[in-house]
């Protein structure tokens, strides 16, 4: 089982590296095409493609770091390296989006000539490369917020290429030069919407927020329903990474049942596992007569 998991991880690493390589090649082609044609939207797409390559490289490095085992200094291991990578990538998307908005507005004020055919040809090549990159990373993005951030870089770039093709075609047919910065604004708007939508998930985990699918009040009420439990306080629920949830709490047990404290703890842990899929649970048992004074139900 472990050998198969390692094989899958290594195969995933190879797909990410191929995605980096094809995006670097595409970036060079697009920048050259954008300069020759005078197309801002093509240069914008090239910059975004460069960010794709960088985001994939960051994702790859984070994947490798995250697999390091826990040690005395890093007792939870390095799994949050992927969350940091995702945060970097989403932040980069926001910066790129804002820059493109600025450049597009400037082009509206001072329109520039654009060579439509060059734009269409280079953008068509870009779309093919973007599609290949998306295929390389799609399956990995389903289970990793880190790869998902890099994948979304790529998806938004593919849509950007479609927009650039439309812009180039309209310039060829109707000489609508204004469509170039207009498409750029649309690309930027999509990038910003996408980044702001996704960045919250990474921030929540890094800030040890309660998972959205778990209601602390329901956890408390179901815990109190376990036979022998008469109180719960100092409750903390957080995600170690996007797949593992941790819980710690002080559990108050009736005085006459303290001899069964281990059985009650095990019943409580089973309930948390079966009902909320919380597998990493730390419980501190207190008797009802020795309960913490003025204890907060949630947090310290």
Confidence of residue 115 (pLDDT cuts 50, 70, 90): low
- Tell me the two tokens of residue 217: 């009040």
Run of H or E residues at 232: strand 229-239
CA distance 89 to 95: 10
Total domains, the chain: 2
More confident residue, 113 or 294: 294
Per residue in 182-216, pLDDT (tens digit) is 887 888 888 888 888 889 988 999 999 999 999 99
Per residue in 36-90, pLDDT (tens digit) is 777 666 676 677 667 777 777 888 888 888 888 889 998 888 888 888 988 988 8
Residues 109 and 194 in one domain: yes
Residues 237 and 176 in one domain: no
Of 156, 181, 206, which residue sits at a domain end? 206
Cβ neighbours for 76, distance < 8 A, ≥ 6 positions apart = 70, 240
Residue 104 clears pLDDT 50, i.e. is over it: yes
Residues 185 and 249 in one domain: no
Residue 1 clears pLDDT 50, i.e. is over it: no
Residue 112 clears pLDDT 70, i.e. is over it: no
Residue 242: the pLDDT is 82
Of 151, 173, 206, which residue sits at a domain end? 206
CA distance 298 to 300: 7
Confidence of residue 178 (pLDDT cuts 50, 70, 90): confident
The strand pair at 280-287 and 245-253 is best described as: parallel
Per residue in 17-30, pLDDT (tens digit) is 777 777 787 777 77
**CATH code: domain of residue 97:** 1.20.1510.10
Q: Is the pTM of this model over 0.75?
A: no
**What mean pLDDT, rounded, does the chain reach?**
81
Per-residue pLDDT, averaged over 150-167, amounts to 75
Of 154, 172, 206, which residue sits at a domain end? 206
Q: In this structure, what are the phi and psi dihedrals at residue 117, rounded to the nearest 5 degrees?
A: -65, -40
Domain that holds residue 230: 216-290
Per-residue pLDDT, averaged over 115-133, amounts to 74
Task: Please give the distance of CA 137 from its chain centroid, rounded to a whole number.
Answer: 13
Residues 183 and 261 in one domain: no
Residues 128 and 225 in one domain: no
- Tell me the two tokens of residue 89: 């990538």
Run of H or E residues at 250: strand 245-253
More confident residue, 180 or 57: 57
Q: Name which of 97, 96, 164 is nearest 125 in CA terms.
A: 164
Residue 155 clears pLDDT 50, i.e. is over it: yes
> What letter would DSSP give residue 298?
B
Report the chain's terminal Cα–Cα distance, integer Å.
Answer: 41
Per residue in 219-260, pLDDT (tens digit) is 999 999 999 999 999 999 999 888 889 999 999 998 888 999
**CATH code: domain of residue 256:** 3.30.70.1350
């Amino acid at each position: 089982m472990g050998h198969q998991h390692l094989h899958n991880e290594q195969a995933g690493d190879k797909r990410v590296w191929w995605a980096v390589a094809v995006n670097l090649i595409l970036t060079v082609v697009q920048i050259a095409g954008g300069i020759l044609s005078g197309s801002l939207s093509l240069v914008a797409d090239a910059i975004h493609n460069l960010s794709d390559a960088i985001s994939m490289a960051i994702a790859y490095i984070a994947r490798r770091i995250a697999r390091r085992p826990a040690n005395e200094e890093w007792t939870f291991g390095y799994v949050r390296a992927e969350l940091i990578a995702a945060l970097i990538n989403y932040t980069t998307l926001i910066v790129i989006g804002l820059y493109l908005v600025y450049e597009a507005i400037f082009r509206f004020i001072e329109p520039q000539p654009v060579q439509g055919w060059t734009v269409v040809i280079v953008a068509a090549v870009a779309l093919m490369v973007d599609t290949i990159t998306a295929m390389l990373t799609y399956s990995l993005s389903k289970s990793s917020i880190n790869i998902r951030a890099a994948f979304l870089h790529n998806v938004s770039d593919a849509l950007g290429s479609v927009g650039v093709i439309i812009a180039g075609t309209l310039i060829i047919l109707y000489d609508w030069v204004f469509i170039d910065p207009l498409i750029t604004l649309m690309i930027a708007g999509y990038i910003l919407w996408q980044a702001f939508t996704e960045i919250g998930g990474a921030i929540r985990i890094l800030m040890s927020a309660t998972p959205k699918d778990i209601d602390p009040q329901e956890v408390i009420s179901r815990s109190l329903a376990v036979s022998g439990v008469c109180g719960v306080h100092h409750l903390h629920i957080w995600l170690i990474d996007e797949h593992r949830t941790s819980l710690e709490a002080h559990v108050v047990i009736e005085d006459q049942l303290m001899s069964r404290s281990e059985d009650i703890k095990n019943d409580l842990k089973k309930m948390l596992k079966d009902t909320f899929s919380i597998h990493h649970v730390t419980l501190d048992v207190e008797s009802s007569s020795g309960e913490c004074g003025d204890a907060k139900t949630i947090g310290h």
